[in-house]
Amino acid sequence: MRNGKKRLRRIAWSVCILIALLLAGGTGFLQWYALEAGGNERGKDLKASYAFMYDHYPFLRHWVDSLERAGALRDTFICAPDDTRLHALYLYADTATPRTAIAVHGYTDNAVRMLHIAYLYHHDLHYNVLLPDLRFAGLSGGNHIQMGWKDRKDVQQWMEVANSLFAPKGGQTDMVVHGISMGAATTMCVSGDPQPPFVRCFIADCGYTSVWDEFAGELQNQFGLPPFPLLHLASWATGLRYGWTFQEASPLRQVRKCRYPMLFIHGTEDTFVPTWMGDSLYAAKPGIKAYWRVPGATHADSYLKYPKEYTEKVKRFLKRYNIPKDMNNLPH
């Protein structure tokens, strides 16, 4: 009888240890898969990124070639407060203007993969443009993908850099921040913080409500698993390792605090960042806002599907809101 109890205890402990090992392994894999993405090879492969953009947007090749021949597509580097080296591409407008766009790329992408948005602003609208590489992407440093939450601090630093680059003597820029996918989440996270006086408006194209919501959806879609317990453990482990959690990384919460005009764009057939997230974000935003639900568009392909309409929507929004005004008089 006593031997039987000992055997049951050994079996119970073995099962507990096995479960703990499986959970630890699953947590580590999920964190690696979602935030380290195999070293983010796609986001760091600039040659492949240019090839991808030229294949999907053939008009970019001639434009980029002309910019490079003129020395107009430039690199700049800065150091974040933690000494991480950050990189961005930038272009001066072809006419003297204070109007400036910061264009923020998506998950496992880089600045090069936002050249179509740079084309919209620089070629079509004659804006100055700055394209940052977020951490762990392109030529920027960093050891993991921050999903837009801590990235907001880096983008805020880039906003100041862009203002110093593009502001007319004795003045300041009129700035829009425009992001796609994780870049839209970053943009919305930026929007909920206090803004410098040169910021005018924001554009968020297919951003998610929160990192928790996005990862929970993908955990179900890709692996058929519920959030508990792996997502809870991965969020906790990310807090220990990187200093932020999936729950706190909430564009939805930040958008509720935003008092600047914002244009939301979201494809009606988006399943990677489901359209309901765009609907929820738009509903949560107080004050001035607009929403283009793009018919038939999947994730992050609204410009690819409707380039003229996309450009016109952005142009109309900016014509109305990217102008100097007393931000204290905007509705809350």
Reported as a single tens digit per residue, the pLDDT across 111-163 is 999 999 999 999 999 999 999 999 999 999 999 999 999 999 999 999 999 99
Average pLDDT on 12-26 reads 42
Cα(16)–Cα(116) distance, rounded to whole angstroms? 52
Whether the predicted pLDDT of 18 surpasses 70: no
Average pLDDT on 214-230 reads 90
On the 0-12 / 13-18 / 19+ scale of CB atoms within 10 A, 73 is: buried
Place of tokens 């020395």: 71
pTM: predicted TM-score of the whole model, two decimal places: 0.91
Whether the predicted pLDDT of 36 surpasses 90: no
What does the block give as tokens for 73?
A: 């597509």
Place of tokens 């762990």: 136
Confidence of residue 332 (pLDDT cuts 50, 70, 90): very low
CA 64 to the chain's CA centroid: 23
CATH number of 45-210+249-322: 3.40.50.1820
Place of tokens 């057939």: 269
Cα(67)–Cα(74) distance, rounded to whole angstroms? 9
Whether the predicted pLDDT of 28 surpasses 70: no
Residue 290 has phi, psi (to 5 degrees) of: -145, 155
* pLDDT at residue 46 in the model: 97
Would you say 182 and 251 are in contact if contact means Cβ atoms under 8 Å apart? Answer: no
* Percent of the chain residues topping a pLDDT of 90: 80
Contacting residues for 174 by C-beta, under 8 A, at least 6 apart = 98, 99, 100, 198, 200, 322, 323, 324
Domain boundaries, the chain: 1-40+215-243, 45-210+249-322
Average pLDDT on 191-208 reads 98
Confidence of residue 33 (pLDDT cuts 50, 70, 90): low
